[in-house]
Amino acid sequence: MSARRIDLSVVVPVFNGAETIETVVSHVLRVFHEHSIEIVLVNDGSSDHSDLVCRTLANQFPGTIQFLNLARNFGEHHAVLAGLAVASGDAVAVLDDDGQHPAEEALRMWRILRTTGCDVIYGRYIEKQHSLFRNLGSRLNDVMATWLLRKPADLYLSSFKVMNRFLVDQILRYRGPFPYVDGLIFWTTRNIGQIDVQHRPRIAGSSGYTLRKLVQLWLNMFLGFSIAPLRFAAAIGLMTSFFSVLFLAAIVVDKLWINPGVPPGVPTILTCITFFSGVQLTILGFVGEYVGRSFLSQNGMPQYVIRESVSLQPGTGVASEADASTEASGRELAHA
């Protein structure tokens, strides 16, 4: 028996979503009941019993739901890549696990994707239901993406998106250990659309969005998809050298003609040393981060590690469960 054709894969990265994921899945199945879909649940090292809930759902809907259990928390973008690697639909939608992305809007985005011929459709929230901290972080991330990725200023990079198969296949060609999905999208295409969508309050729980995760996201964007930080560091070095020469000339003029009797100021010297040391350390930090990431990439550091998978065996209609003790590179297990 040949495997059935899947119109749309819905990838849901799950992090501490035990209270919400069942509701999200039920809503997706209800909205897309007339279409051939699959749902890929990726548990990203949750500390609650999300793995148990996802495993139960996969066993309950063996022809529709796949479940990947990552060995630890790798991050949202890593989890999304893990889901994309096993998704087989002609298009792929990415939804959060907290119920803030309505399935009805995903259906509308998917239809617009097919009619417009865009490679990806982003959902732009009409009214965001995030906290003030997360809204501020999203705003800063948007500004940086506009500068580094040359993103149109009016395009909002949300985690709510629908992509066609061409774009998904191109994203999966990335083998580096520091993925940034939106950066990969902009590397691949400029055939991008967006529509206004509803953004609902969380069903339960609180956001896992932290300052540490925000910094990691920025670093992945800065250092993985642009050499702008190195150019910025070089510009700072040149400007510092230029102003240092001017400052030195001013000191010579002051000593020879204006205040010849005043000894050079020790505080001024200490301030200059501290300033230049900070500039040097900043530049070395940029360079070191690039070198370190290059080393990890060349060393074969995996993007994610799958501890367990529950998926549909092609052509059988029966769910198969991988050995829970097996740990392998995400790429290896996903394509096995």
Query: pLDDT tens digits for 212-226?
Result: 666 676 666 666 666
Mind giving me the DSSP string for 246-306?
HHHHHHHHIIIII-TTSPPPHHHHHHHHHHHHHHHHHHHHHHHHHHHHHHHHHTT--S-EE
What residue segments make up the domains of the chain, in order of their start? 8-226+302-334, 228-298
Q: What gap in Å lies between CA 176 and CA 122, rounded to an integer? A: 24
CA pair distance 120, 217, nearest whole angstrom: 21
More confident residue, 144 or 85: 85
pLDDT category at 13 given cuts 50, 70, 90 is: very high
Stated pTM of the model? 0.74
Mean pLDDT for the stretch of residues 282-294: 72
Task: Give residue 9's Cα distance to chain centre.
Answer: 18
Q: What angle do CA 194, 198, 201 make, to 5 degrees?
A: 135
User: Where do we find the tokens 């054709």?
Assistant: 5
Higher pLDDT: 306 or 208? It is 306
Query: Average pLDDT, stretch 226-238?
Result: 69
pLDDT at 179: 87
Q: Distance between CA 167 and CA 185 in Å, rounded?
A: 7
Is the model's pLDDT at 208 over the cut of 80? Answer: no
Q: What is the mean pLDDT of the chain?
A: 80
pLDDT of residue 227: 63
296-312 pLDDT, tens digit per residue, is 566 667 888 999 999 75
Q: Which residues are within 8 A (CB) of 219 and not within 5 positions of it... i.e. 6 or more apart?
A: 178, 289
* pLDDT value at residue 155: 87
pLDDT in the model for residue 321: 56
pLDDT grade for 164, boundaries at 50, 70 and 90: very high
- Lowest pLDDT segment from 73-87, 205-219, 238-252, 301-315: 205-219
DSSP E strands, the chain: 8-14, 37-43, 65-70, 91-94, 120-125, 161-164, 192-197, 305-312, 319-321, 328-329
What percent of the chain has a predicted confidence (pLDDT) above 70?
Answer: 70
Among candidate residues 206, 168, 201, the one with its CA nearest the CA of residue 91: 168
Q: What is the pLDDT of residues 20-72, one digit of tens each?
A: 999 999 999 999 999 999 999 999 999 999 999 999 999 999 989 999 999 99
What's the confidence (pLDDT) of residue 160? Answer: 96
Homologous superfamily of domain range 8-226+302-334: Spore Coat Polysaccharide Biosynthesis Protein SpsA; Chain A (3.90.550.10)
Residue bearing the bigger pLDDT, 93 or 131: 93
The mean per-residue pLDDT over the stretch 278-301 comes to 70
Residue 230 confidence (pLDDT) above 90: no
